[in-house]
Structure 1
Amino acid sequence: MAGPATPITSIDDAPLTPFHKRLMYRCSGGPFLDGYILSIVGVAATGMTTDLNLSVSALSAVGAAALVGIFVGAIIFGRLTDRIGREVMYTVDLIVLVVASVLSAFADSAWQVILLRFILGLAIGADYPIATALLAEWLPRRNRGKMLGALILFWYIGATAAYAVGYLMIEFGGDGLWRWMLGSAAVPGLVILLMRMGTPESPRWLAQHGRLDKAREVVAKVFGDSVDVDAVLAAETAGTGGRRGRFSDVFRGVYLRRMAFCGLFYLCQVTPLFAIYTFGPIILEAFGLNEGTLAYLGSALISLLFLIGCVPALRWVDAWGRRPLIIWSFVLMVIPLAVLGIVPTAPAAVIITCFCLYALFSGGPNILEWTYPNELFPTNVRATAVGISTGISRIGAAIGTYLLPQSLTKIGAGPTMLVGAVITLVGLVVCIAWAEETKDAALGAEGDRAPLATV
């Protein structure tokens, strides 16, 4: 007769349960809405420009407002999440998003659209550190890389859904439905908000803030009788002295290097990626692929491969490790951009193949955008670190998106791709120098504070 099962003494070593899977889908709402909201405005732009008589600068401001909002929201609310908790912010940011989306359907001037897009960006930027920190702090270590990395898939699903909804509205109602397009984000936003109701607070955060009774309650609720609650909480509070983190902590000692790594690799990844994803047809036309619908079909294929490239990376992140995955991904991302820059007059098949390879190889950094900062920083500043790295990345996204059309016009397609290759090469150097191996690392207090090997 089998004896009693060994009780769970650490969240890091707990078995994967249906609760973890539900939590992952709930947390995926932020990336989904980010992809949806950033993409739907491109479809709505034509009708909006006509109805509101937007100037080029006003239209640019509409496009940039959400990115600026994400930058501000990620940094401010990431810090606030470490102070007041994940659970409260987890629902408040979605309420703001739903309300702002509904109001967007009634906007009748450029400044209203710009303001509401900025507010939407604030809510999205807030959700990244909130949801990823909450998910990371509940996940077992052996599943953390794959399940955190899977969140980026929902960004691409959200972007695809936005294009589908937008084009269906144009097909059946014309460009005049642009307000309905902007307001449509409220529908998935409300669904995700309802899904998140009842999500428990992170026991790690509760323990770090001295709320041990509540921490015991949520741990027991999730794991039932199979958990040794006192042992779990002891693992979360060991050596911390109940100290709450400060914003400045992420810029001190080993955390300064880790913050530089997370922010810089993220920035170097998304600067060319966002530009290519956003202006795919324009870029392909600049390479001479302007016969019929070739540029649009090529762009659609490239966009699909950004999503597909994440799938094998999700398997490799836990089997192979974080450090080799990110280094080799950057190596393989530099090569096709360099070929495009050196041989911009290559045949159409070569041009499209290079862009497709870049999209496929970007899967590694894509799935590590939130995995790395969540694993490299302790519970008391985890959301702060995610917020800062996300904010830094949006600087690159905004710059790349703004400058790419001008670069194509002024210096041409080849030199523009060489600039992208150099930026990606900088990301590779950063990864070789500073990427740590966090595979199987504990998120408990002691594991948080110990520097991890970089070889």
Structure 2
Amino acid sequence: MSDSTSSGSDSTSSGSDSAAPVEGGAAVTAFDDVPLNRFHLRITALTFCANASDGYELGIISIALPLIAAQLGFGTVWEGLLGASALIGIFAGSVVVGWAADRIGRQRLYTWNFLLIAVASAAEFFVTGPAQLFVLRLLIGIGIGADYALGPTLVAEFVPRRYRGGLLASLTVLWTVGYVVAFFLGNYVVGLGDDAWRWLLASSSLPAVAVVLLRIGVPESPRWLLARGRVEQARQVVSRLGGDQAAFASLARAGRTSSETVRARYRDLFGPAHWRSTAFGVVFYNAQVVPYFAIYTFLPLVLLKMGVGEEDSTSDGLLNLFLLAGSLAGLWFVAKSTRRGLTVWSFAVLIASLAPMAIWPDAPTALLFPLFLVFTFTMSAAVNLDQVYPAELFPTDLRSSGVGLLNGLSRVGSAIGTFLLPLSLDHLGFSPTMLVLTLVLVAGLLASLAWAPETKNVALD
């Protein structure tokens, strides 16, 4: 494993607070093994909201767009821009705020980024043209992207290592819950009148306001405070979390190595120590989300190509249920499997279930649709790793930057895939399009075999 997850060699002191070596060369600290408490659950629950909001925001816009286009009178160009606007914002928010959080701290940005989401979401009710809506959804995306960089970073840096994988994986479950809720609620609300889309888009402001209020008072990460030499503040945070002097001493000792070296710079993500983690993260993340967003954004069109008629709403609903079931099952897989093993095997199953659609596109629907259910279940389970792996790949002084970079670039890939899929279906056909998406998955498998480190239960520096 690369030294991006190593805590250094200064971890052999004796005593009750000593740090023992574990898999991957990282050091176990007493802070990493404190009992799970209410604060750990609180910081995770508050981070749920970003993922649920992302799923909800991306789900409702696809349902509301036809009504918006008809009422505001714009064409396919604006439809495409509005569909991609939140993804563009997520890229900007993830990369910029991730970089900023490693320099000025996580806490303030984590507390206030949802204020931007709340205000912009409420303002959607009053838009009179597509340009206004584009700007507002861009701002919403920036707020969500910021939380994508900050939320998993704080969860990883606060919670005990024994529970880190499960709690981080549960963030993706909430994305799926938000997406599925948007599907069912949106299809009900849009039938209530011409202005129903305004209420639908503005509805996401209510949970955002609640998050802003509940996040006030969340402390700064003690790992980040120690990396900046703010020892007494870090001690107070550890005490607040239920840690004793031994927990603080072991955390401080594990962090001394990084504080004694030159502080990491953003370009170090691409340097000798971390380029494999960065390369793996970018390829792995994009290999999942490109097929995911491309296929499920245009799910009715894909189903039609498989022989499932537009009037068959049962199939659409069944797939959404498989998305939710796979996401929940993914929590068990993350808890029981190694990170590397789950990544490799999930890519293998995804390739095996999608490839027949490329090789035999005229196969009976009775064969293709069950394979697509397997693909849906496996993909939904595998993307639980999207919130787990990135936060474990990088050291404290690069963690937020690395998580933000991977999240941001994944949204670039998903935006490109979403934009190109209908064009590819029209100009290349169903079989070549499925072949391209299968090759994307093959790239993810090869990158995982070559570069994926094992980070399960590794103590963060």
**Length-normalised TM-score, structure 1:** 0.92
407, 410, 423: which one aligns with 1:393: 410
Q: Secondary structure at the match of 2:260?
A: coil
Q: Give the match for residue 46 of structure 1.
A: 66
137, 140, 146: which one aligns with 2:160: 140
Q: Distance in 2 between matches of 1:239 and 1:29?
A: 32
Q: Secondary structure at the match of 1:105?
A: helix
Contact 1:77 1:126 in 2 (8 A): yes
Q: Give the match for residue 9 of structure 2.
A: none
* Structure 1 residues 209-220: aligned runs within 5 Å: 209-220=228-239
1:132-155 deviations in whole A, cap 9, x for unaligned? Answer: 100000111121111111100011
* Structure 1 residues 5-404: aligned runs within 5 Å: 10-171=30-191, 173-223=192-242, 225=244, 228-241=247-260, 243-290=262-309, 293-294=311-312, 296-404=313-421
What residue identity is the alignment partner of 1:154?
L
Q: Distance in 2 between matches of 1:236 and 1:306?
A: 40
Q: Distance in 1 between matches of 2:98 and 2:35?
A: 28
Q: CA deviation at 1:24?
A: 1.0
Q: CA deviation at 1:224?
A: 5.2
**Greater RCO, CA 8 A, separation 6+:** 2
Q: Distance in 2 between matches of 1:284 and 1:343?
A: 15
Q: Give the match for residue 452 of structure 2.
A: 435
Contact 2:50 2:144 in 1 (8 A): yes
Q: CA deviation at 1:243?
A: 4.5
Contact 2:319 2:373 in 1 (8 A): yes
Give the 3 Å change call, closer, same or farther, for CA 228–402 of structure 1 in structure 2: closer
Q: Give the match for residue 405 of structure 1.
A: 422
Q: Distance in 1 between matches of 2:356 and 2:184?
A: 33
Q: Distance in 2 between matches of 1:334 and 1:156?
A: 22
Q: CA deviation at 1:245?
A: 2.6
Tell me the percent identity: 38
Cα-Cα RMSD: 1.8
Give the 3 Å change call, closer, same or farther, for CA 47–226 of structure 1 in structure 2: same
Q: CA deviation at 1:236?
A: 2.6
Q: Distance in 1 between matches of 2:256 and 2:173?
A: 34
What residue identity is the alignment partner of 1:169?
V
Q: How many residues align?
A: 436
Q: CA deviation at 1:333?
A: 0.3
1:173-228 deviations in whole A, cap 9, x for unaligned? Answer: 22322222211110111122222222221110111111111111111011155854
Q: CA deviation at 1:165?
A: 3.2
Q: Distance in 2 between matches of 1:40 and 1:369?
A: 22
Contact 1:338 1:417 in 2 (8 A): yes
Give the 3 Å change call, closer, same or farther, for CA 228–426 of structure 1 in structure 2: closer
Q: Secondary structure at the match of 1:351?
A: helix
Q: Secondary structure at the match of 2:361?
A: coil
Contact 2:395 2:460 in 1 (8 A): yes
Q: CA deviation at 1:346?
A: 1.8
Contact 1:132 1:370 in 2 (8 A): yes
What residue identity is the alignment partner of 1:392?
L
Contact 2:300 2:316 in 1 (8 A): yes
Q: Distance in 2 between matches of 1:38 and 1:308?
A: 19
Q: CA deviation at 1:237?
A: 2.8
Q: Distance in 2 between matches of 1:107 and 1:125?
A: 23
1:38-96 deviations in whole A, cap 9, x for unaligned? Answer: 11111211221122101110111111111111111111111011111111011221011
Give the 3 Å change call, closer, same or farther, for CA 313–44 of structure 1 in structure 2: closer
Q: Secondary structure at the match of 1:175?
A: coil
Contact 2:393 2:455 in 1 (8 A): yes
Give 5+ residue unaligned stretches, structure 1.
1-5, 445-455
61-70 or 225-234, larger mean C-alpha shift: 225-234
Q: Distance in 2 between matches of 1:414 and 1:61?
A: 27
Contact 1:208 1:242 in 2 (8 A): no
Contact 2:238 2:244 in 1 (8 A): no
1:284-329 deviations in whole A, cap 9, x for unaligned? Answer: 1122221x632x3222222322232233332232432101110000
Q: Distance in 2 between matches of 1:385 and 1:75?
A: 8
131-140 or 409-418, larger mean C-alpha shift: 409-418
What residue identity is the alignment partner of 1:337?
L
**Length-normalised TM-score, structure 2:** 0.91
Q: Distance in 2 between matches of 1:256 and 1:145?
A: 23
Q: Distance in 1 between matches of 2:257 and 2:212?
A: 34
